[in-house]
Chain A
Amino acid sequence: MAIKLDHVFYTYSEGTAYEMHALKDVSLEIPDGQFLGIIGHTGSGKSTLIQHLNGLMQPTKGTVSYNGEDIWADKYDRRNLRFHVGLVFQYPEYQLFEEDVLKDVCFGPKNMGLTPEECEKRAREALEQVGVPEEIFRKSPFDLSGGQKRRVAIAGILAMNPDVLILDEPTAGLDPKGRDEILDQVKYLHDKRGITVILVSHSMEDVAKYVDRLIVMNKGEKAYDAIPSEVFSHYKELEKIGLAAPQMTYIMHDLKEKGFDVDVHADTVEEARDSILHALGTRG
């Protein structure tokens, strides 16, 4: 059991008139190797939640443990924890600072105390994994396109060989192709290296396509925690909390209502296509 939250609260201005729960009694377990999605509108507590996963924020109440150890216990090495649980913030390209791409990606491994040779080896591997070509290793990170900067920033975390990779809206501001490329690459890393991936997203379409499990946050609480198609079956309730299901879910429900024998759980274009062809008797 990799990450476990047990009745976690995070409260601002506790005991005053301004008391506000950013997290309210959240319990969850994230097993090794899972591809988990977290969704919720602005202010729902999802960013607060992910910052608890690698000890950047300390719960006001409750415990967070990693591999069975309470990360807020005396003498727990939280610095080391952050090498294992890597967090890529929103717009991570704003945090690039070195004079060339390779040096920037070396920064994490260097802080881990690795030898310069090992740092460079890790950096090269990480850059390759996110699809950054060798020609730009010596370029200034500031001369790159938005999509490339984003990849370099993600490589900076990957170079620490984390067991868990947390990405806070990694595709915000990218064009559609850039969005697909980044998410495909993350999926590839998950499948190939077996790392746990936690993806915070605003896009129901993206989570439908990639994640095994979806947590919906609302007002600091877990509103849903299930496989995506199960979560999307509550599309009417999702709308009440300012979210929506993927467009495919709506279409499949519309078709079902019109008497088509389609699977309302289909939530990606591929699944919807197959289900409709089946219902039309064109296939199968």
Chain B
Amino acid sequence: MGIIHADNVDYDYQEYNDDGTPGEVSHAVKDVTLDIRPGKFIAILGHNGSGKSTLAKHMNALLLPTDGTMWVDKLDTKDDDETWNIRQKAGMVFQNPDNQIVASVVEEDVGFGPENMGVPTDEIWRRVDESLEKTGMIAYRKHSPNKLSGGQKQRVAIAGVMAMKPKCIILDEPTAMLDPNGRKEVIKAVSDLNKAEGVTVVLITHYMEEVIRADHVFVMDGGELVLQGNPREIFSQVERLKELRLDVPQVTLLAYELKKAGVPLPDGILTREEFVNEMCRIRAEKNGN
């Protein structure tokens, strides 16, 4: 069993009519089974309302399955006694940078998590230093979080989670409200943590370019897992992704369009370098014949 393991997880919620009477029951997550190995970089894609955030909230016991079981590092999230343990093992970063800052100074914000866990003061400061160093925010430790850019605030939020020494970090559209620079900063910080620290990363996003470096991609639609594979396998399915209201990186789309027009390119090209190399290969073969 991996660090996160879902066994036939369902999540239903009751809708209410305007007069307060119970209405329909919505099935936000339907029969999801998945296993995430430690140290992997996982991406979850899906359109607005596909159930991906609801699923993510199960990964640190913010929501509990209506049916089925969610395991975090072999702990059942339904076990009340383990809730705090689970949240320490799997930390969560949300979309809006302004909604997750709790203190008026960066270093105190980062120290908030370990302090709540009862970590000794010396150890808290050590962890604060280390986390700020790793997210590239050490120069801002005495700053007020309000004066930071969106990307910097998200890196502080990530540092705050890292200070709790989690095994897994779940990021629910962490870059949706950021500009391209902020997006790059955050993705770099996350990817460095994954590589250098071996922290398992679960990244939920609408930006296809952020997914190309993931080890494995899950795609959700209507609360169900509908596709999974490595980025190349996923992005080879251009038409299917469009049906799911998603997209592919622009270079992948270009290669797909050219292939349709008869240019012998492989499926699922993900990067500019790959594309240019393939074009050179095609030209060489053409000239060779």
- A residues apposed to B, CB below 8 Å: 41-43, 140, 145-147, 172-178, 202, 205, 242-244, 246-248, 250-251, 254-255, 258, 260, 269-270, 272-273, 276-277, 280, 282-283
Contacts and interface: CB of A to CB of B under 8 A. Distances in A.
Contacts of A146: 48-49
A270 B95 CA distance: 32
Interface stretch (B113-121, B162-170, B176-184): B176-184
Nearest to A139: B18
Given A42-B182, A277-B261, A178 B250 contact: no
A172 B207 CA distance: 11
B36 interface: no
Which of the four size classes fits the interface of chain B?
A: 35 or more
Given A173-B173, A255-B276, A272 B254 contact: yes
Contacts of A273: 254, 257-258, 261
B180 A251 contact: no
B189 interface: no
B174 interface: no
A102 B267 CA distance: 46
Contacts of B47: 175-178
Contact of B279 (A172, A205, A246, A258): A258
A243 B257 CA distance: 27
24 contacts: A42-B179, A140-B18, A145-B48, A146-B48, A146-B49, A173-B176, A174-B206, A175-B47, A175-B246, A176-B245, A176-B246, A178-B245, A242-B181, A251-B272, A251-B275, A260-B283, A269-B253, A273-B254, A273-B258, A276-B258, A276-B263, A277-B258, A280-B282, A280-B283
Contacts of A251: 251, 254, 272, 275-276
B224 interface: no
- Nearest 6 CB-CB pairs, A to B? A177-B245, A176-B247, A175-B47, A247-B250, A273-B257, A254-B276
A41 B181 contact: yes
Contacts of A277: 258, 261, 263
A137 B254 CA distance: 39
A142 to B, nearest CB: 11
A203 to B, nearest CB: 8
Interface in B40-71: 46-49
Nearest to A273: B257
Nearest to B242: A177
Contacts of B182: 42
